[in-house]
Chain A
Amino acid sequence: MGRKANRLSPFNITALALGMAFLYLPIVILVIYSFNDSRLVTVWGGWSLRWYREFFNDRAMLDAAWMSLRVAAVSATIATLLGTLAAVGLVRGERFRGRSLLSGMLYAPLVMPEVISGLSLLLLFVALNAERGFWTVTIAHTTLTMCFVTVVVQSRLASLDRSLEEAAMDLGCDPVQAFLRVTLPLIIPAIAAGWMLAFTLSLDDVVIASFTTGPGSATLPIRIYSEVRLGVKPEINAICTMVIALIAVIIVIASLVSKLSSSEAKSAAPL
C-alpha cells in the first residue's frame, strides 16, 4: 500500500523534537531563572519573587513599561482600523487605479529592514518639525503594524463567500449596511487577531522606536536593550517573563476567539 510513503519516520520525529526544543528551551530557561533568588544570574539560589519586587520599585522601568503599553494600545487600534479598511479595498474593490501601489506599500514594510523604516520616518518628523515622543512612536508603529493587520484580514476576507453580501444587497441593504451586518461579523475574529498581533509587535520593537522617540520617553524595549548591552541582570529576566506572560494571555485569547468563531461558522453553515 502507498500508505507507507506517508508515514512518519524516526528521522521526521527527531527533527520535530529537536526543532521544538530549540524554539522553546531558551524561553523556558529564561522564565525559570527569573525566579532565582541569587544576584548572580548563573547561580541557583532558590525560588524567589525578589526581582519582580525590584521591577515594581524601579521608577524608570515602570515609566517605560507604561509608555510602551500606551503606544501599543493606541497604535494597534489605529492600525486595525486602517488595516481593515485597506484589506476591504484590496479584496472587495476589484481593480482600480493605484491598487498595485497600495498593495506594494503594504507588503514592503513586512520585510523592510527596521533601520530603514526608522530612519526615514525620523527624517520626515524632523522635516515636519514634529515634537518627538509618544505620538511619533505611535505613528511609526501604526505604519508598520497596519501592514500585518491588512495581511491577516485580507486572507480572511478573501476566503469569505461573496454571495452572502450579494444576498444582503438583493434583500435591500445598501453596500455599507451589507458590510456592517454581514461581512463585519464574519471577519471580526481576524480583526481581533490583527489587533493583538499589532499590539505585540509594537510592544516588541526597539529599532523603530529608538529612531522616532524623543529624549525622556523611552519605551520598555529601549530600556531593556540598553540594560542588556551592559550585561545580564536578574531584573531583566523578571521583566521579560512578565512580557511573555502578557503575550501568552493574548495568544490564548486570540486562539479562543478564532475557535469560537469557527464553531459558530460551522453551526451556521447548515442554515
Chain B
Amino acid sequence: MSARRIFAQPARYAAIAPYLWMVLFFLVPFGFVLKISLSQTAIAQPPYVPLFDFSEGWAAIKAAFAQLSLDNFKLLVSDSLYISSYLRSLVVAVTSTLILLLIGYPIAYGMARLPQRWQAIAMMLVIVPFWTSFLIRIYAWINILQHDGLLNKVLLALHLVSTPVVWLSTDTAMYIGIVYSYLPFMILPLYATLARMESSLLEAASDLGASPLRSFWLVTFPLSLPGVGAGALLCFIPIVGEFVIPDLLAGSSSMMIGQTLWLEFFTNKDWPVAAAAAVALLVLLVPPLLLYDRLQRRTLGGAN
C-alpha cells in the first residue's frame, strides 16, 4: 500500500468533526426554516405554532403533517409587497452586477498588464478593503453623501450644481454602496483569468493586423469569460439577499427581499412568513449557486 493511501485514512477522520458541525449548524437549521415556513403564525413566544413534538411519537407526527399549511407561501405570491420586493432584489442585483463588470473589468485588465512586481502590490491593495469592515465602509459613504457632506461641497465648489443634491435615501446611493462593497469580489476572479492569459495570443493577433480594440474583442474578452462568469455570480448571489446596504443607503419606499424578511422577523414578529421568504429567496438562488459550483469545478479541473 502506498504512503499516500495510508495517509488518506486518518485525513478522512480529520473531517469528521467539521462534518458534524456543518450538518448540525448549517444543514439542520434549513430543516427548521422549512418546517416553520409551513406552520401557522401565533402570538406567542416563540411566535409560531410548533408543528410537532417528537416525544409524542409517530401518531403526533402524522397528525402534524395533516396540518401543514402553505398559507405563508400563498401570502408571498398574492401580496404585492412580497412580489415587488422579489422583483426589486432581482433588478438591483442584475443592475449592480452589470455596473460592477463595467467598472471592475478595466481595473482588472490594468492590473494584469502591470509589471510582475507591481501586480502583487495591486492585488494586495484590492484585497485589503475586503478585510476592512463592510459596515465601516458603508458608513464612510454616508459621511460623504450626506446633505452637507464632502460630495455636495465639491460639486458646489466646482459650480456643477447650485443647490445641494439629495444623495442619501436614494437608489443612486444604494448602487454606490453596493458597487463599492462588492468591487473586490468582481476584480479578483477577473484578474485571475486575465493574468493567466498568454500574451503571445495578443501578439499573434496584432501581427495578423488586428487593431488593439479588435484583438481585445476577438481574443482577450472571449478568453476572460470564465472570470466574468465567476465574478458576476460571486456578486449577484449575495447582492440578491443584501440587507445592510439598501437599509442604510436606499429610501424606504421600496424594499429588497432581505429587508422584507428582516421587517417580518424583527418588526412584525411574523416568523413563519419570514421563514417562507427565506425559503423563496433560497429557491431563487439555487440556479446561480449550481452554476457557480459547476464553474468552480471546471476551473479547478482545468488547473489540475
Contacts and interface: CB of A to CB of B under 8 A. Distances in A.
Task: Among A107, A112, A169, find the residue whose CB has the most chain B CB atoms closer than 10 A.
Answer: A112
B194 to A, nearest CB: 11
A118 to B, nearest CB: 9
A15 B133 contact: no
Contacts of B133: 200, 203-204, 221, 240, 243-244, 247
Contact of A26 (B30, B148, B180, B199): B180
Nearest to B33: A120
B287 interface: no
B128 A251 contact: yes
Contact of A228 (B113, B139, B275, B278): B139
Contact of A23 (B9, B29, B129, B242): B129
A251 B18 contact: no
Interface string A20-48: 10111011011001000000011000000
Contacts of A8: 110, 113-114
Q: In which size bucket is the chain B interface?
A: 35 or more
A92 B265 CA distance: 42
B139 A240 contact: yes
B289 to A, nearest CB: 7
Nearest to A102: B19
27 contacts: A4-B206, A6-B199, A7-B113, A9-B113, A12-B110, A19-B103, A19-B106, A19-B183, A27-B137, A29-B143, A82-B18, A83-B18, A85-B18, A93-B11, A94-B5, A96-B12, A112-B285, A113-B238, A115-B262, A116-B282, A120-B32, A142-B21, A146-B18, A200-B133, A207-B243, A210-B266, A247-B131
Nearest to A140: B25
Interface stretch (A49-57, A123-131, A263-271): A123-131
A85 B285 CA distance: 29
Contacts of B70: none
A108 interface: yes
A2 B143 contact: no
Contacts of A98: 19
Given A119-B33, A228-B142, A124 B244 contact: no
B3 interface: yes
Given A2-B200, A120-B29, A165-B7, A88 B238 contact: no
Interface of A: 2, 4-9, 11-13, 15-16, 19-20, 22-24, 26-27, 29-30, 33, 41-42, 82-83, 85-86, 88-94, 96, 98, 102, 104-109, 111-116, 119-121, 123-124, 126-127, 139-140, 142-143, 146, 150, 162, 165-166, 169-170, 175-176, 178-179, 197, 200, 203-204, 206-207, 210-211, 221, 224-225, 228-229, 232, 236-237, 240, 243-244, 247, 250-251, 255
Overall SS of chain B's interface = helix
9 closest A-B pairs (Cβ-Cβ)?
A113-B241, A89-B15, A2-B203, A120-B29, A15-B106, A86-B18, A92-B11, A19-B107, A12-B110
B289 A111 contact: yes
A33 B143 contact: yes
Contact of A124 (B2, B22, B29, B261): B29
Contact of A232 (B131, B146, B262, B278): B146
A5 B208 CA distance: 12
